[in-house]
């Protein structure tokens, strides 16, 4: 498959262009010639020195990540930036990135993956960013206790030993759940307005403790990395369907 075809397929499925004005990430092909060939695709949550090196060692032609290298422009390729881009160029390894489009996709995205784990139904888009959404909200088939929901997140997500932090300021029984992965605590008020009993996200800011307590909502901080493995795993499944060789590079941060 040509790299340009792979990029077009992902861009079309993820509606990459629709997020161009609301995402600091330069989504799509960040490094590489579009006229290259692709037989082997590697996938990782983060484009970092170790994941890039692992993809190169696996013989991949392109690395697909959720967090890329370019955020709001790239002024100089020196220091850490050079250290990451150099092995991409030296190994003829392209880099494709999908940040908010992969958060917001209601079937392939990160929030959708967490919602699948929780078996949420009656889902709808959640987490407004301009005209787009970066999360999902749904209802549990069988309501959870707070402890049951925390245990399920700890068991099913790739935590690498860290624990789910719970701000249990909401109802003892959790039925309506808003999910916005990564650093999603800024959407707490939207979760409250939507009638959610809980917000599941990756990490929280200091202020979310007081906001959650004052609003009477449960917040589950399940890990930034742990909540954002689902999207790239879904893109890997697509590449498998397209007949490409794939490799998943696990590199949990514990955060």
The binding site for a divalent metal cation consists of 66-67, 103, 224, 228
Strands 62-67 and 165-168: unpaired
Tell me the H-state helices in 59-134: 79-90, 100-104, 110-117
CA distances from 157 to 48, 51, 222, 254 (A): 21, 20, 8, 12
Q: Residues within the annotated binding site?
A: 66-67, 103, 224, 228
Phi (first) and psi of residue 243, to 5 degrees: 85, 15
Tell me the H-state helices in the chain: 3-14, 49-57, 79-90, 100-104, 110-117, 146-156, 188-193, 207-215, 224-227, 230-241
**Is residue 128 a contact partner of residue 194, using CB atoms and an 8 Å limit?**
no
d(CA 204, CA 75) in angstroms, rounded, equals 30
Q: Which of 122, 106, 123, 138 is nearest to 231 (CA)?
A: 106
């Amino acid at each position: 498959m040509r790299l340009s075809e792979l990029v077009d397929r992902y861009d079309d499925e993820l509606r990459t262009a629709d997020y161009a004005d609301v995402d600091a990430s330069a989504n799509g092909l960040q490094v590489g010639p579009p006229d290259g060939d692709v037989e082997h695709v590697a996938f990782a949550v983060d484009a970092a020195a170790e994941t890039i090196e692992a993809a190169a060692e696996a013989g991949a032609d392109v690395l697909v990540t959720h967090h890329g290298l370019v955020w709001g422009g790239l002024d100089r390729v020196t220091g850490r930036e050079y250290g990451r881009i150099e092995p991409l160029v030296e190994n003829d390894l392209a880099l494709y990135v999908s940040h908010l489009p992969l958060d917001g996709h209601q079937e392939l995205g990160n929030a959708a993956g967490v919602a699948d784990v929780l078996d949420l139904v009656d889902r709808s888009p959640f987490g407004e960013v301009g005209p787009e959404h970066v999360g999902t909200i749904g209802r549990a088939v069988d309501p959870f206790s707070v402890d049951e929901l925390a245990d399920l997140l700890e068991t099913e997500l790739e935590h690498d030993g860290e624990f789910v932090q719970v701000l249990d300021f909401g109802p003892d029984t959790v039925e309506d759940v808003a999910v916005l992965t990564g650093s999603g605590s800024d959407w707490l008020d939207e979760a409250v307005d939507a009638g959610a009993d809980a917000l599941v996200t990756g990490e929280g800011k200091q202020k979310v403790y007081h906001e959650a307590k004052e609003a009477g909502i449960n917040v589950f901080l399940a890990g930034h990395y742990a909540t954002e493995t689902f999207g790239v795993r879904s893109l890997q499944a697509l590449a498998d369907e397209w007949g490409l060789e794939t490799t998943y590079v696990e590199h949990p941060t514990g955060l």
